[in-house]
Amino acid sequence: MAIESYRLNVAEVIEETADARSIVFDVPAELREEFAYTPGQFLTVAVPSDQTGLAARCYSLSSSPHSGRHQITVKRTVDGYASNWICDNLKAGDTMRLLPPSGIFTPKDLDADLLLFGGGSGITPVISIARTALEKGTGKVVLFYANRDEKSVIFAAELTALSVAYAERFTVVHWLESVQGLPSQEQLSHFATHFAGYESFVCGPAPFMKAVTTALKDLGIPRERRHQEKFVSLGGNPFGEVEEVLAAQATLAEADDADEPDDAAPERFAGPVHLEVELDGEHYTFDDWNGDKVLLEFLEEKGVDAPFSCREGNCSSCACVVLEGELAMTHNEVLDGDDLADGIRLACQSLPLAEKIRISYNG
């Protein structure tokens, strides 16, 4: 099923480094509400492809919501079709098809103390969080930013400016592989130990994310204070125009530790399910979910504005937490073992396994 997509004008293309571009979109007044976002969310864009018609890719918004801008930042990846196409071809005045903002890699409390880790282009959602928390929040913000070398540091000047403007609250630590080598788990752990009470957000290449996450786990930082962003290209076509898209390809990081997908149909609960849902401060109760459709479709049918993007178990936009009962997923490409142990499920893939189920979208 296709999601409603929108064609937006490219207002500006900014050369951030030799191999990274920021793309600023014009969002007309009538789409402002549809395109409202929280820091850390991403946009899904349709990139034209000779072979397949289009390729769908998710890129984090690097702007902050209060700036009024909608800016993504794209770094070339070796053999990455979409990122190279964007960096080579896109210019101001072009148009692109997009899906509205989505994603759950976003702080619930902007006043919290934040410990941010960005590896390479993984800085994009992280700088959105940092900008927003500094401007709108009151807590401390610490950023560990790892790059190959000085030339590859995206947003270097802005980070310097922020650390001057918010000297009391913002600390940025640059780690250059060319100078210090890759950060080891032990070094990351030593760094993070000073901020163990902070809310942590991690985005970057898979080995970097794994090292940071393991370091944070070893420090005993609980799962609810460890947030990580993974992007995989969409295996299907959410734009609904062509039958194929390019094969799945990691953009910022591969969900290499995602559980093996389980495509076997789960045994659903045969009978009406008592379902309670918390979403955006609202509480909903239903007694007529028969397990004949997945949770997301059931909620949509009931007029509940539940979040989603890919509908394929690939993006985690629809993630919810099971508070009581159990859901079984038909497909999962994005949640890892920790996520599953914490009760996180993808509503677009979930069927009921219990007579009473209580879920929350509030994390």
Task: Give residues in contact with ligand FES (CB under 6 A).
Answer: 308-311, 313-318, 346, 348
Tell me whether residue 287 or residue 305 sits nearer to ligand FES (CB atom): 305
Q: How far is the CB of 265 from ligand FES (least distance, A)?
A: 17
Least distance from ligand FES to the Cβ atom of residue 100, Å: 13
| Count of other CB atoms within 10 angstroms of residue 338 | 14
Count CB-CB contacts under 10 A for residue 111: 11
- CA 35 to CA 44: how far, in whole Å? 12
Residue with smaller CB distance to ligand FES, 188 or 334: 334
CB 255 within 8 A of CB 232: yes
Cβ nearer to ligand FES, comparing 123 with 351:
351
CA-based radius of gyration for the chain: 20
Name the minimum Å distance from CB 334 to ligand FES. 6
Q: Which is nearer to ligand FES, 26 or 259 (CB)?
A: 259
Provide the minimum distance between the beta carbon of 84 and ligand FES in the complex, in angstroms, as a whole number: 25
CB of 117 to ligand FES, least distance (A): 24
User: In terms of CB distance, is 268 or 311 closer to ligand FES?
Assistant: 311
Report the nearest approach of ligand FES to the CB of residue 3 (Å). 9
With a CB cutoff of 8 Å and minimum separation 6, the contacts of 189 are 215, 218, 219
Q: Which is nearer to ligand FES, 212 or 318 (CB)?
A: 318
Q: Which is nearer to ligand FES, 141 or 315 (CB)?
A: 315
Quote the CA–CA distance of 45 and 54 in Å, as a whole number: 10
Q: Provide the token pair at 229.
A: 């962003």
DSSP-derived secondary structure for 121-160: GGHHHHHHHHHHHHHH--S-EEEEEEESSGGG-TTHHHHH
Q: Least distance from C-beta 349 to ligand FES, angstroms?
A: 6
Give the single-character DSSP code of 255.
Answer: -
CA distance between the termini of the chain: 27
